[in-house]
Amino acid sequence: MPSGRHFLQIPGPSNVPDRILRAIDFPTIDHRGPGFAEVGRAALDGMTWVFGTEGPVVIYPSSGTGAWEAALVNTLSPGDAVLMYETGHFATLWKQLAERLGLNPLFIEGDWRSGADPDAIEARLKEDKAHAIKAVCVVHNETSTGSVSPIAAIRRAIDAAGHPALLMVDTISSLGSLDYRHDEWGVDVTVSGSQKGLMLPPGLSFNAISAKALAASEQARLPKSYWAWDHMLGPNEKGYFPYTPATNMLYGLNEAIAMLREEGLSNVFARHARHGAATRAAVRAWGLEVLCRNPNHYSGVLTAVVMPEGHSADAFRAVTLKNYDMSLGNGLSKVTDRVFRIGHLGDFNDLMLCATLAGVEMGLRDAGVPHKAGGVQVAMNQLGRASDTGRAAAE
């Protein structure tokens, strides 16, 4: 075994802090006993704060894919049209899930190099005079590409079209890392998961639900049982769940919420933005290309890097793993072997970023990938300037 710790720098699951691991290690208790209500209510109330909502949040023992399904089956009926935007691999998977459920997804094609275009969404909705489209589904932070969709602008686009469609947003890789406001931005269902910005292992997923979405659920005819909101919301009022919850994961979730409160969400968002900017500066100094081409859509969660023509991203990743015990994200579907992804999210600081970028630069050298040395120094200089600015503002 190599010495030192493994650097897990994929864009999720992210590294789990010791505090959260210790919390998960608490003894399991009776999930129907009186002591559990405090655990359950703390988790449910804390997540409304993280989402920025005064409405209900449902917590499932599942991956984010389960929360995708829950958002659709609780609000829609067989054959309903849903407008979706091809921001990358995960938007495509959500579309495929909708097809398997018997929905009719209408896919706006994208080039995988930016987030969703509000103007294209508005134009498509204006064409739908009969209001056949029942929902607009968008991935906030596309994990496969490192592009962020402007959710507030998409809400304005739906309103400008005068369309009643629900707005559903996937924040699986952005919640707790990027600025997000469920109520303020007029989102109807927000989907998320535990294993990224919330710093937990995989295993919990979430739906934040608007009053409009709750009303739609009363008419929805897609079959559901495990995912049914109405089955969850009654027991949730007292801190309980209708079936066995992931008790120890809820301990960890409450510790994660405490960590986010201690740092302050605005500081968390600023930290991720700073690390994203420093990483992109390093990539450009190496002479490589960032996959996201729209500066307004850059992600603070991850950076996807395009390999030079004729060079394998997977071969580079393998060399880096072997030589420096660091895992980097692979390219998915359309960009398989063409990009690698650097995760810089969750429980992460400046020194961890510098070490990560040093591992990338040494891996590029060892794998024979054409690049210019010095990207790490450029990132260090940028981080230093950001720290100086922050100190000056605090004085």
Contact criterion met (CB below 8 Å) for 210 and 168: no
155/157 Cα distance (integer angstroms): 5
Contact yes or no for 388/381 (Cβ under 8 A): no
Which amino acid would we find at residue 154? Answer: I
Residue 111, phi then psi, degrees to nearest 5: -100, 5
- 230-275: pLDDT as tens digits: 999 999 999 999 999 999 999 999 999 999 999 999 999 999 999 9
Q: How confident is the model at residue 395, as a pLDDT?
A: 44
Q: Reply yes or no on whether the pLDDT at 130 is more than 70.
A: yes
- Token pair 């937990």 is found at 200
pLDDT band at residue 310 using 50, 70 and 90 as cut-offs:
very high
| Residue 194: count of CB within 10 angstroms of its CB | 30
The domain segmentation of the chain, as residue ranges, is 7-13+264-394, 18-261
Element (H, E) at 271: helix 265-285
The pLDDT tens digits for 76-100 are 999 999 999 999 999 999 999 999 9
The per-residue pLDDT for range 64-78, each reduced to its tens digit, is: 999 999 999 999 999
pLDDT digits (tens, 9 = 90+) for 365-374: 999 999 999 9
Q: Is it the case that residue 392 has pLDDT exceeding 60?
A: no
- Asked if pLDDT for residue 286 goes beyond 70, the answer is yes
- The confidence band for 391, taking pLDDT boundaries of 50, 70 and 90, is very low
Tell the CATH topology of 18-261.
Answer: Aspartate Aminotransferase; domain 2 (3.40.640)
How many angstroms from the chain centroid is the CA of residue 160?
27
Q: Is the pLDDT of residue 183 over 80?
A: yes
Does residue 393 register a pLDDT over 50? no
Give the separation between CA 155 and CA 179, rounded to whole angstroms: 15
The model's confidence at residue 359, banded by pLDDT at 50, 70 and 90, is very high
Q: How far is CA 250 from CA 46, 60, 178, 265, in A?
A: 11, 11, 22, 20
Give the per-residue pLDDT at 82. Answer: 98
Taking the whole predicted model, whether its pTM rises above 0.75 is answered as yes
For 26-61, how does the pLDDT look when each residue is reduced to its tens digit (9 = 90+)? 999 999 999 999 999 999 999 999 999 999 999 999
Q: What percent of the chain has pLDDT over 70?
A: 97
How close are the terminal C-alpha atoms of the chain, in Å? 46
In a 10 Å sphere around its CB, with 0-12 CB exposed, 13-18 middle and 19+ buried, how is residue 3 labelled? exposed
The tokens for 280 are 């992109």
- Is residue 274 marked as binding? no
Residue % of the chain over a pLDDT of 90: 96
What pLDDT shows up at residue 385?
76
Place of tokens 């959710």: 151
- pLDDT-based confidence at residue 386 (cuts at 50, 70, 90): low
Choices 3.90.1150.10, 1.10.760.10, 2.40.50.140, 3.90.25.10: CATH for 7-13+264-394: 3.90.1150.10
User: What distance in Å separates the CA atoms of residue 118 and residue 96, rounded to the nearest whole number?
Assistant: 22
Q: Which residues are CB-contacts of 256 (< 8 A; sequence separation ≥ 6)?
A: 20, 176, 198, 199, 200
pLDDT beyond 80 at 328: yes
Residue 390 has pLDDT above 60, yes or no: no
**What mean pLDDT, rounded, does the chain reach?**
96
